[in-house]
Amino acid sequence: MLWYIEIANKKEYPDPSGNDVILNAHDLNIKGISRVQAFRLYLIDADIAESQIKTVAEELLIDKVTEVYSVNRPLSNPGKSTHAVSIFRKPGVMDPVEASALKGIAELGMKAYAVKSGRKYLVTGKISSKNLETLVKKSLANEAVDDFFFGQKEFKELPKSKPYKFRLVTVPLLGASDEQLLEFNKQYTLSLNLEELKTVQNYFISLDRNPTDAELETIAQTWSEHCKHKTFAGNIDFNGAPIQNLLKGTIMKVTQELNKPWCLSVFTDNAGVIEFDENTAVCFKVETHNHPSAIDPYGGAGTGIGGVIRDILGCGMGAKPIMNTDVFCVGLPDMEYKKVPKGALHPKRVLKGVVAGVRDYGNRMGIPTCNGAVFFDERYTGNPLVYCGTVGVMPKDKINKASRAGDLIVVAGGRTGRDGIHGATFSSVELTHESETVSSGAVQIGNAIMEKKVLDTILQARDKGLYTCITDCGAGGLSSAIGEMGEELGAEVELSKVPLKYEGLSYTEIWISEAQERMVISVPPEKLDAIMQIFNEENVEATVLGKFTDTKRLVLHYQGNKVADIDMLFLHKGVPKSSRKAVWEPLKFSEPKIALQKNYNSVLKNLLSSYNICSKEWIIRQYDHEVQARSVMKSLAGPEYGPSDACIVRPVLGSRKGIIVANGMSPKFGDIDPYWMAASSIDEALRNVIAAGGNLEKTALLDNFSWGNTNKPDRLGGLVRASQACYDIAKIYCTPFISGKDSLNNEFATEKGTIAIPPSLLISAICVMPDVDKAISMDLKKEGSFIYIIGMTRSELGGSHYYALNGCIGNNVPQVDARLNKDVMEKLSRAIGEGLALSCHDASEGGLGVAIAEMAFAGGLGAQIDLKAVPVEGTNRNDEILFSESNGRFIVEVAPEKAKMFEKFFKGLPVGNIGRTTKKDSLKINGLDGKTVVDAGLKELKDAWQKPLKW
Amino acid sequence: MKTPKVLVLRAAGINCDQETKFVFEKAGASADLVHINRLYKNRSMLSDYHIFVIPGGFSHGDDISAGKILANELRFNLGREIDSFINDKKLMLGICNGFQVLVKTGFLPGFPPEKGNANHQQLVTLISNDSNRYEDRWVYLKLSSEKSEFIKGDSILYLPVAHGEGKFVPKDKSVLAKLKKFDQIVFKYVKPDGKPSAVFPFNPNGSVEGIAGICDHTGRILGMMPHPERYSDAANHPRWTRDGLKKMPDGMRIFINAVNYAKENLL
């Protein structure tokens, strides 16, 4: 029978979950709620007596010190002005509590068939039913994954899935007209273009048969933009000049030409691999998980981080993840609710959801999330970006892998369900206001503990050499994992062997499901028993699905019936090379004329309060950034928690060697010129590495492009420009790219037209640091130190935050003098290495003014600055010197007794001794005419910086 | 001289096991990671060890409530073995999730046995932080007990906490009174100068009387929310770049003491 259990805190204890609902109602401008009580609900399907269910409640479900419960009735009968709402995950959506509860019940010596967990709220106060519904839909539940019920809901039984009866489905491709092909394309969410559809049609004409649905879906998944990167690898006509392969011609070319011996594996595996020390390598991968996060921010971000962790686990023969980095791009959190486009979620909800998703997954995995960033722009409202990155560590002799014919195909980890069907193809199309309902099958909810168990056991099996190859089940599911591993060999799979979460999946659904937490490994038959023992000992399910062959064919069966038989060569190499047009015309915004002011206190505070610059402490502290005990430099620096430039961790506990991870991103410059946007992003990522005490000699880069629809020539033109900058700039800095990813088609269709995101290139940098004890942080350290600026300040305020504050974009986008900046960076790196600097911070968003303010309040020390001493080119304005975002600049604090030695390093370079640190609790800046232009208390500056996201 | 042996427990969702092993080895012990399933199969293996540690993490995802499922597993399957482990004068430590497990098994607070009181009752708990969210931050701890074999005396430690459910709550006033009477309150959250404070962020979660860690009446079981294993290297400190590298990181004191106790009393 089905038992219903309701749990709440005893009256004398606070109800923080209930109070949170009141806060969320305030966000939605819903007033009149006086109280909210939160309840936990369990539905337990078990043939046990009431006394036994009470034992389950008391010994397992409740905290006897603080909680009370009721069975089969509500704990309290709500009064007239109280409304009840219950929320459960939709049937088929992962509920990690279920497995744990079943285990806990078994531990008590009882058996339950199924458990479902839920939440209930009693909302008291004057609230209209319309507002109540708004509160539930916009804040408590997500219709893509949750069911909700108003009033006291009676439950009779848990929904049961229907069994599946085999029926082979073929698609009548032979003889289909172009229109019919396009119709199939839509019906099966194939996301192929007509030329590709015709190529598929011709292939099956040559076989003289129609494809099965499984074959068609396999081809579509394998050929998806997400998996094949057709745009980057295709033909492009750029303003009349032919480009044959943009990726090979720019980003990969840098790496090839630099030919660094410490680059151990680049652009081939799941992640880029570089040497760490004699025995150890580190690998790094950053992924995007944009479209799922638009529909369900919590699940999307959680599975984003889960996916990139599996990339690392599947890199080489498997690496141990040691840190995560997460970068989000979202709309403006103070956007009016009525302005949110139909089908989009409010930016505040998106941000809260993605942070919670990363938090709950990353923290549970025990991987510190110690680096990240957030960018705000209203164009990200309907199409937010979620970049998830993970660094792993592995023995150097575990980098290579290859399946062999005869190896068994084993899937280990989570069971397969209907979650995440069509993720790979879904990510390759534009979002619309219908995406929420049409594509909710593409949403996945992760189960971090399952992935942790997989991680723990796989690494044991790796060290014992029990498999020959491994890859993760990501986009495309088994289809993509087995298809890739067997590309050179051939594979035979019996799909009915795949363990399922519930009945009713067709063979095609089993094959393409993107259910989370699964890894595919190829195991030599003689090692099967040994590897199964490792999995069994730690309760990880693992199943043999078939074997790799030498037929060069992919053959699938279901209950013995053949459901697919295609040529690996056609599958992997058959996709026709695309041809796209790209144009680039420089945009012309007008250069604004902004009146000079006598005092810039309020401008500086407004900049510090702008969403892109303000403190992200609210996010940082929700992530466990210290687990694994590797942390050397954290995201918040100094006694007053300023913004660190980078994070530093030690991959090998007990060694003084470390890695620095930093990022650079400047979408605002992309509106003017994606070339300088990309160049600035590289410069910024490298500045952050150098400022923390790193070097250029052993720094590698990752590129992650999120772009609009590149079928539109202007968008593609921008992508070409950005890629060219990646080549030009990284080549001069001698920093190779080791891995990258692109997410195209980031546009949101509204009734009024399509909104494209700004061109968004995330550059991530990883640097191997010989001795972490040489690191320095950005907080001012001592009274009476000298403050230097290194690098040239120019009249480059196009796309700057100062212009944005004045409501304009401008034209003079910051350029990158890479030769000069490289010289500056190399010398600064050496000076820091010799212990000559006390603190260092790069000047980036908000320029010199913001950088020095951050250093001052982070360290709790004042500063006196003189703008006359700043090396400049082409400007004589106080506001430009204060707020220009020129690249290649650093602010450095140096002890007076070391000043001479420090200055020696920068002979012939733009350097200025611009002031002193003071014990006063204020920042004072004198302008070019000697008059004071900023005189602000540290506390007011810090408050301005901390306030906006203090949620 | 012989080396003390430490059993660092592994289970689904425990995730601070490797650094916990590392710090005990750094403190001069030998440490093994042992999965709970292996321990079930061979219960007597516990007696080969001198220190038993339940590290931090999210055992079984903290589904249902923090540490609950692992607590039941230990209580129902290994209760007797753990009792005799402690009776043998050996040490047991629960950090963060491990502390949550220890209070939910009732091994803590573990008051002196009295007539009529069943053993291993849950008398205290750790519930959602007042902020209702997970938080990672460094806190000042006042050490103010002579009871615990892991650390004694009167000093201030600086260690990180990272949890969502860390608010210490006793069942009633008599439980709190007994904790004081038997000197079982080992750590309290305080201000940097050591003075008590009920205010966030000094008391990061709203714990009653700022209680951050307690021991049992023998002093041989310690549970604490802060993570000493995350301050085992001087460069773990959030402000070492301004204050310099400390010779003895605060976290190491606990592990070195525990290992020394084992060397003097158990070998």
Angle between helices A297-313 and A347-365 in degrees, nearest 10: 40
Distance CA A91, CA A896 (A): 68
Q: How far is CA A427 from the centre of its chain?
A: 14
pLDDT at A481 over 90: yes
Q: Which residues of A are less than 8 Å from B124 in CB distance?
A: 65
Give this prediction's pTM. Answer: 0.95
Q: Mark whether B227 is an active-site residue.
A: yes
CB A67 within 8 A of CB A32: no
pLDDT at A439 over 50: no
The burial class, CB within 10 Å (0-12 / 13-18 / 19+), for A158 is: middle
Whether residue A777 and residue B242 make contact (CB cut-off 8 A), yes or no, is yes
pLDDT band for position A291 (cuts 50, 70, 90): confident
Q: Mark whether B229 is an active-site residue.
A: yes
Cα four-point dihedral sign A506, A410, A229, A322: positive
pLDDT at A161 over 80: no
| pLDDT one-digit tens code per residue, A323-347 | 999 999 999 999 998 899 988 999 9
* H or E stretch covering B96: none
Q: What does the longest C-alpha to C-alpha distance in chain A come to? A: 87
Q: What percent of chain A has pLDDT over 70?
A: 98
Catalytic option among B96, B163, B215, B237: B96
pLDDT confidence of residue A28: 83
Distances (CA, A) of A405 to A411, A458, A468, A524, A532: 17, 21, 11, 9, 20
pLDDT confidence of residue A94: 76
Minimum mean pLDDT among A292-296, A800-804, B140-144: which range? Answer: A292-296
Q: What percent of chain A has pLDDT over 90?
A: 84
Minimum mean pLDDT among A145-159, A877-891, A930-944, B179-193: which range? Answer: A145-159
Whether residue A637 and residue B69 make contact (CB cut-off 8 A), yes or no, is no
Whether residue A97 and residue B63 make contact (CB cut-off 8 A), yes or no, is yes
- Domains of chain B, start order: 5-265 (3.40.50.880)
Whether residue A773 and residue B235 make contact (CB cut-off 8 A), yes or no, is yes
Instruction: Classify residue A167 as left (phi > 0), alpha (psi -120 to 50) or beta.
Output: beta
pLDDT band for position B129 (cuts 50, 70, 90): very high
Mean of pLDDT values over A845-871:
98
Distance CA A58, CA A390 (A): 40
Instruction: For chain B, say whether A537 makes contact (Cβ under 8 Å).
Output: yes
Give me the residue from B63, B76, B125 closest to A65, CB to CB: B125
pLDDT confidence of residue A77: 83
Instruction: For chain B, say whether A837 makes contact (Cβ under 8 Å).
Output: no
Mean of pLDDT values over B22-43:
96
Q: Smallest CA–CA separation between A474 and chain B, in Å? A: 22
Over its C-alpha atoms, chain A yields an Rg (Å, rounded) of 29
Mean of pLDDT values over A530-541:
97
> What chain B residue is nearest to A775 in terms of C-alpha separation?
B241
Instruction: For chain B, say whether A583 makes contact (Cβ under 8 Å).
Output: no
Neighbours of A459 (CB within 10 A): 18
| pLDDT one-digit tens code per residue, A491-510 | 999 999 999 988 888 999 99
Mean of pLDDT values over A91-100:
82
Whole-number mean pLDDT of chain A? Answer: 94
Which is higher by pLDDT, B117 or A753?
Answer: A753
**Which of residues 316 through 355 in chain A touch B, CB cutoff 8 A?**
none
**Which of residues 584 through 643 in chain A touch B, CB cutoff 8 A?**
620-629, 631-634, 636-639
Q: What is the DSSP secondary-structure string of A473-542?
A: --TTHHHHHHHHHTTTT-EEEEGGGS-BSSS---HHHHHH---SSEEEEEE-GGGHHHHHHHHHHTT--E
pLDDT at A226 over 80: no
Number of A–B residue contacts, CB under 8 Å: 170
- A688 token code pair: 């952050």
Mean of pLDDT values over B164-179:
96
Residues 6+ apart with CB under 8 A from B92: B51, B52, B53, B54, B82, B85, B86, B102, B107, B220, B221, B222
Phi, psi (rounded to 5 degrees) for A718? -65, -40
* H or E stretch covering B46: none
| Complex ipTM over 0.95 | yes
| pLDDT one-digit tens code per residue, B219-242 | 999 999 999 999 999 999 999 999
Give me the residue from B15, B135, B229 closest to A365, CB to CB: B15
Distance from the first to the final alpha carbon of chain A: 43
* CA angle, residues B36, B38, B43, in degrees to nearest 5: 90
Distances (CA, A) of A841 to A180, A309, A659, A777, A838: 60, 30, 18, 8, 11
Q: How far is CA A878 from the centre of its chain?
A: 38
**Among B137, B246, B20, which Cα is nearest to A773's?**
B246
- B141 token code pair: 């701890």
pLDDT band for position A728 (cuts 50, 70, 90): very high
Mean of pLDDT values over A700-713:
95
Give me the residue from B72, B73, B135 closest to A622, CB to CB: B135
Amino acid at B169: V
Cα four-point dihedral sign B250, B251, B256, B257: positive
- A459 token code pair: 């690494």
Q: Smallest CA–CA separation between B211 and chain A, in Å? A: 16
Q: B221: helix, coil or strand?
A: strand
